[in-house]
Amino acid sequence: MTQSAASPLPPPTERRRLRESKSLTQAQVAAKVGVTRETVRSWESGRTTPRGRQGEAYADFLAGAEADGQAPAAQAAATATASPARARRTAGHQESAPLDPGQERGGAWAGPAAKAGPGEGPSPAESPDDAVEAFDRLYTHTAPGLVRQTYLLTGRRILAGESVERAFQLAWQRWPEVAVDRDPAGWVRAAAYEYAMSPWHRLRPSHRHPEAPPAAADDRALLDVLLSLPPSYRRTLLLYDGVGLDLPETAAETEATTPAAAQRLLHAREAVAERLPALAVPDQLHRRLTELAGAEKLQAPKSTLVRTEGERRTRFWTRSAIAFTVLIVGATALTMRTAPTRYEPAPAPGAVISGVPLRTGSGPLTKADKKLRDKLRKAVKSGPHRLAPEAD
């Protein structure tokens, strides 16, 4: 249990439940405690620990919410949509339990992943070799299954591999932060999902045509149903019935309230059951998702290549930022060098000058002008007379 200096705090999932039991948003709790909304979200996900006076105020808020004893509206939805993973563990069927994001349970979702806790990853003060070893271990245990998950999320093999690679590159850039996270595999999974579901991929030329579907007809039908769901519904269904997260954890990773996540899950299950009635049972749906993920032979690049590419991209953007800064400094210096150093008064307004004739343009002809014009037109057109000089 996470503790602050004042009083013990409940687990992260319980913090979220207590807030929702009082029908408060994260922004409202942040205003009460005196922090930002992002801080409250980080506390509820367990990525950071409340400390100081803000932590004491947050602990008092949770204690008051727990004392009120108000049942959250999401409890009934969580009971109605009980996680297949937890139901199987309760029944003792460990051999068919879904693949936990951080533990080996067999199947196609993940390899022998070890869930690194806050004390397992290297701290920022440890040697670079330890950081490399910890990162490689996390990548080896998580990347293969995460590529398959991302494929079910997008239906594109190349994008799935690219998303996982970019997520691990970002994790390597922020490794001091990821190493002490309570769930490094979840951190990388969230980053991979966000990149894979970015709407900007639609503008890429390679995404104008769909990729080749799976070979089996059943796999094609299931993948078509998944891709027909809205992205948020698809992600919720994949996390809950595929990865095996519980409802509060699924809601936290999708940045939704627990009731909203429950509604998305129910609608997604209904859509799948409508087109594939055999998958109306959650256990069957989980099994088919696992089989579909394992049917695709997707490979992840080596961790060494991911780290190298991540460092190369970091150097590129760092040098680009330095070059852009130098350009701005140079432009500023040039402006300061060429700008006037003293005040030059504006010219005085013009004054009226008398005696200068006004500029006139062509106007209507007078009677005299018309008479002269007619006379010239009637004259013999013999040309001008030649002038000859005469002697004095």
Return the higher-pLDDT residue of 76 and 40.
Answer: 40
For residue 377, is it within any domain?
Answer: no
- Which long-range contacts does 61-70 make (Cβ < 8 Å, 24+ apart)? 61/29, 61/32, 61/33, 62/9, 62/10, 62/15, 62/18, 63/7, 65/18, 65/19, 65/21, 65/22, 66/10, 66/18, 68/21, 68/22, 70/21, 70/22
Confidence at 381, pLDDT banded by 50, 70, 90? low
Which of 22-26, 56-60, 106-110, 367-371 bottoms out in mean pLDDT, i.e. has the lowest? 106-110
Determine the Cα–Cα distance for residues 252 and 212; give it in Å rounded to an integer.
Answer: 33
Query: Residue 329's pLDDT is what?
Result: 95
**Averaged pLDDT for residues 146-157:** 90
Q: In Å, what is the CA distance from 84 to each residue of 206, 286, 378?
A: 37, 8, 113
Same domain, 174 and 64: no
For residue 1, is it within any domain?
Answer: no
Same domain, 17 and 106: no
Q: Which tokens go with 373? A: 């014009």
Look at the chain and report how many structural domains it folds into: 2
Return the higher-pLDDT residue of 70 and 66.
Answer: 66
Q: Which tokens go with 351? A: 């004054």
Same domain, 147 and 237: yes
Q: Which tokens go with 155? A: 């239906």
For residue 118, is it within any domain?
Answer: yes
The pLDDT tens digits of the residues spanning 241-287 come to 988 888 888 888 888 888 899 999 999 999 999 999 988 888 888 88
Query: Residue 382's pLDDT is what?
Result: 60
Give the three-state DSSP class for 217: helix
For residue 3, is it within any domain?
Answer: no
* Summary mean pLDDT of the chain: 78
Q: What angle do CA 207, 186, 152 make, to 5 degrees?
A: 35
Q: Which of 305, 328, 345 is the C-terminal boundary of a domain?
A: 305
Same domain, 54 and 141: no
Give the three-state DSSP class for 219: helix
At residue 110, does pLDDT exceed 90?
A: no
At residue 78, does pLDDT exceed 50?
A: no
Answer whether 50's CB lies under 8 Å from 9's CB.
yes
Torsions phi, psi for 134 (to 5 deg): -65, -40
Return the higher-pLDDT residue of 203 and 146.
Answer: 146
**Averaged pLDDT for residues 316-344:** 90
Query: Residue 323's pLDDT is what?
Result: 95
Determine the Cα–Cα distance for residues 228 and 209; give it in Å rounded to an integer.
Answer: 16
Confidence at 384, pLDDT banded by 50, 70, 90? low
Same domain, 157 and 104: yes
The pLDDT tens digits of the residues spanning 121-135 come to 444 445 677 888 899
Which range marks the domain in which residue 117 is found? 95-305
Q: Return the CATH number at 68.
A: 1.10.260.40
Return the higher-pLDDT residue of 86 and 27.
Answer: 27
Can you state the percent helix, strand and coil of the chain, rounding each to 5?
65, 0, 35
CA 154, chain centre distance (Å): 15
Same domain, 167 and 210: yes
Q: Which of 305, 332, 354 is the C-terminal boundary of a domain?
A: 305
For residue 331, is it within any domain?
Answer: no
Q: Which of 271, 289, 305 is the C-terminal boundary of a domain?
A: 305
Return the higher-pLDDT residue of 295 and 143.
Answer: 143
Same domain, 147 and 31: no
Q: What is the pTM of this model?
A: 0.59
**Averaged pLDDT for residues 228-238:** 92
Confidence at 90, pLDDT banded by 50, 70, 90? very low
For residue 251, is it within any domain?
Answer: yes
Same domain, 115 and 42: no
At residue 17, does pLDDT exceed 60?
A: yes
**Averaged pLDDT for residues 370-392:** 74
Give the three-state DSSP class for 73: helix
Q: By percentage, how much of the chain surpasses pLDDT 70? A: 79
Which of 200-209, 226-235, 285-294, 381-390 bottoms out in mean pLDDT, i.e. has the lowest? 381-390
Which of 12-16, 95-99, 125-129, 153-157 bottoms out in mean pLDDT, i.e. has the lowest? 95-99
Same domain, 105 and 21: no
> b/e string for 261-273 if b means 16 or more Cβ within 10 A?
bbbbbeebbebbb
Confidence at 103, pLDDT banded by 50, 70, 90? very low
Same domain, 217 and 169: yes
Query: Residue 82's pLDDT is what?
Result: 47
For residue 167, is it within any domain?
Answer: yes
Same domain, 169 and 110: yes
Query: Residue 92's pLDDT is what?
Result: 37
Query: Residue 1's pLDDT is what?
Result: 37
At residue 378, does pLDDT exceed 60?
A: yes
CA 5, chain centre distance (Å): 34
Which of 83-97, 328-342, 348-362 bottoms out in mean pLDDT, i.e. has the lowest? 83-97
Same domain, 256 and 108: yes
Which of 19-23, 135-139, 141-145 bottoms out in mean pLDDT, i.e. has the lowest? 19-23
Confidence at 319, pLDDT banded by 50, 70, 90? very high
Confidence at 229, pLDDT banded by 50, 70, 90? very high
Query: Residue 272's pLDDT is what?
Result: 92
At 206, the amino acid letter reads S
For residue 361, is it within any domain?
Answer: no
Which of 9-13, 142-146, 269-273 bottoms out in mean pLDDT, i.e. has the lowest? 9-13
Query: Residue 108's pLDDT is what?
Result: 42
